[in-house]
Amino acid sequence: MRFSALRIFKEGLTGNMNWEPHWRNPSPKSKYDVIIVGGGGHGLSTAYYLAKNHGIRNVAVLEKGHLGSGNIGRNTTIVRSNYLLPGNSEFYSHSLKLWEGLEADLNYNVMMSQRGLIMLCHSDGQRDAFVRRANAMRSRGDDAQMLSVQDLRKLLPYLNYNSARFPIYGGLLQKRAGTARHDAVAWGYARAADQRGVDLIQNCEVTGFNINSGRITGVETTRGIIEANKVAIVVAGRSSQVAQLAGIRLPIESHILQAFVTEGLKPIINNVVSFGMGHFYISQSDKGGLVFGGDLDGYASYAQRGNLPLLEHVFEAGMALMPMIGKAKVLRSWGGIMDMSPDGSPIIDKTSVGGLFINCGWCYGGFKAVPASGYAYAHLIATDNHFHTAKNFRFERFQTGYHLMDEEGTGSQHNLH
């Protein structure tokens, strides 16, 4: 089933009765070439690129809940490639290019909206750091533009420019950045992987790994034992717990991140805006809700819900930056479990168990990484070699200290990244 304007028009005239389900609901086979543990954005994109780029189609994605029930359906949907440090920068640059062709590639409307992202700066030092970042972005072929206060007043008239505490000195705009519809991304990859023969198996929790002479032979699940030549873990906030089942200890802490959405309003915020003096970022959804978030809750937890003090902290940041937001009514808030790594950058690597791979450590920023992460992880699983954009995403950097990519400069404090 392909989506096209003609098909939508025809279905509209005939009562929308002939659409088919997006994917099959298969029972697990006894053996696969590759099993992917975790049906989030990264697991589904990995399955898709395994089939598309490497012709490996005897693949199962095992998901303990339903597809898209994890962080892929809980994030604030920001897509960007405004990274500074080598290692991260080429990876996110590749990801944004994949985003730009994603809808045509998947034949699916992921509502990619390149509305521009503006990072605000509030001191001379911060502006200098942004100029450096903008130069780095442009020198690798990404777009970046410094904005003056006069530019900002035209673009974002609702900001508080008279704040003595947080004066606005300017901003860094990446026009190609923006948002995409998070669960549509999961559905689009799921459908495209299914069409290439991948089995998407929901309500199937992996409870153990079968390892023989140091090599993976399969997994134990709530739906029985399934054999596999290779197994790829990609379970985001649950990474430490799942890796532990294979006897592997990860340098990951799990923390809660919350998001908030207001009632639907008329269009007011046309870009994605992030506050440089606090961790606050905001955009407006196509339904009109203001979608925003802030810091981690600050303590390790596996609960998919947040606490009230952090809610107050995020609202304070919003009020300091754009007092008009105080008139909007918050409709909903929710939490997701973030897999925080010591340098705030991800891991895509082999493990000490032969044929067992891991992809984790996405911290706050794994949504924008979904295309490039699946692309690089599929490459590693299929070829045993690291894809060039992800060659530094290895465990060894935490042992040697080389290739650490600490964008925030906060060291190994998971909660500060």
Among 34, 259, 356, 380, indicate the residue that binds ligand FAD (CB under 6 A). Answer: 259
Q: Tell me if 352 sits within 8 A of 285, measured CB to CB.
A: no
169 or 237: whose CB is closer to ligand FAD? 237
Selected range binding ligand FAD among 41-49, 123-131, 190-198, 381-389, rule: CB under 6 A: 41-49
Smallest distance, ligand FAD to C-beta of residue 48, A: 13
> Which of 61, 71, 50 minimizes the C-alpha distance to 25?
61
Residues in the chain: 417
Q: DSSP labels for 353-365?
A: SBTEEEEE--GGG
Token couple for 166: 């947080």
For 278, other C-beta atoms within 10 Å of its C-beta total: 18
Residues between 58 and 77 with contacts to ligand FAD, criterion CB under 6 A? 62-65, 69-72, 74-77
Residues between 346 and 365 with contacts to ligand FAD, criterion CB under 6 A? 362, 364-365
42 or 127: whose CB is closer to ligand FAD? 42
Interface with ligand FAD, residue 205, by CB under 6 A:
yes
- The Cα 162–Cα 407 span in angstroms is 30
Among 36, 37, 144, 358, indicate the residue that binds ligand FAD (CB under 6 A). Answer: 37
Interface with ligand FAD, residue 257, by CB under 6 A:
yes
Q: With contacts defined by CB under 6 A, how many residues of the chain interact with ligand FAD?
A: 39
361 phi/psi in degrees, rounded to 5? 80, 35
Smallest distance, ligand FAD to C-beta of residue 183, A: 10
70 or 289: whose CB is closer to ligand FAD? 70
Residues between 297 and 326 with contacts to ligand FAD, criterion CB under 6 A? none
Interface with ligand FAD, residue 206, by CB under 6 A:
yes
Among 43, 171, 318, 344, indicate the residue that binds ligand FAD (CB under 6 A). Answer: 43
371 phi/psi in degrees, rounded to 5? -65, -50
Interface with ligand FAD, residue 417, by CB under 6 A:
no
Query: 145-147 and 199-201: which strand pairing?
Result: unpaired
Token couple for 15: 């009562």
Interface with ligand FAD, residue 271, by CB under 6 A:
no
What is the three-class DSSP state of 259?
Answer: strand
In a 10 Å sphere around its CB, with 0-12 CB exposed, 13-18 middle and 19+ buried, how is residue 31 labelled?
middle
Place of tokens 């908030």: 260
DSSP assignment, residue 331? E
Give me the residues that bind ligand FAD (CB under 6 A), please: 37-43, 62-65, 69-72, 74-78, 205-206, 234-238, 242, 257-259, 293, 336, 362, 364-368
